[in-house]
Amino acid sequence: MMSNQIGSLVVAQQPSAVPTLARPFPIGAGKDRFGFGFQIETAPVAEKGMRSVGSLSWGGIYNTHFWIDPRRQIVVVVLMQLLPYYDEASLKIVRGFEHLVYQQLR
C-alpha cells in the first residue's frame, strides 16, 4: 500500500464538475503517485517544514484529511464538515495545522 502502483504516471489535478461540491484537487497534483489507497508524496513539498517524502495521504469530500508520515512516525487527522471540498479556507486550516505540527517536531 505504501509503494507506487502507477509507474511513471503522476496524480493529475481533478477538475470540478460541481464547484459548490468540490474545487479542483488534490495538493500534490503534478508530482505525487498512488499506492493501493493512498496518495504518496514523491517530492518535497515546496514549503519547508511540511510532510516528508514517502508520506501517505487522502481526503474526503467534506474536507476530512489525513496523512501518515512514516519517516517522522506521525499520523495526523484533520476533520471538518464543510463544503466545497478543497475550499480555500479549509486548505488554509489543513496547511496551517501541518505547519504547526512539523514546527513542534524540529
| Beta sheet of 74-78, edge-to-edge order | 33-34, 39-40, 56-60, 64-69, 74-78
Residue numbers of the domain that contains 98 = 1-106
Q: Of 104, 94, 76, 105, nearest to 28 (Cα)?
A: 94
- SS3 category, 24: coil
Only one residue has cell 460541481, namely 18
41, 51 Cβ separation under 8 angstroms: yes
Bond preceding residue 44 cis, omega within 30 of 0:
no
Only one residue has cell 508520506, namely 55
Only one residue has cell 467534506, namely 62
What is the domain count for the chain? 1
Instruction: Say what the pTM is.
Output: 0.89
CATH number at residue 79: 3.40.710.10
What does the pLDDT profile of the chain (106 residues) look like in tens digits? 899 999 999 999 999 999 999 999 998 999 999 999 999 999 877 677 799 999 999 999 999 999 999 999 999 999 999 999 999 999 999 999 999 999 998 7
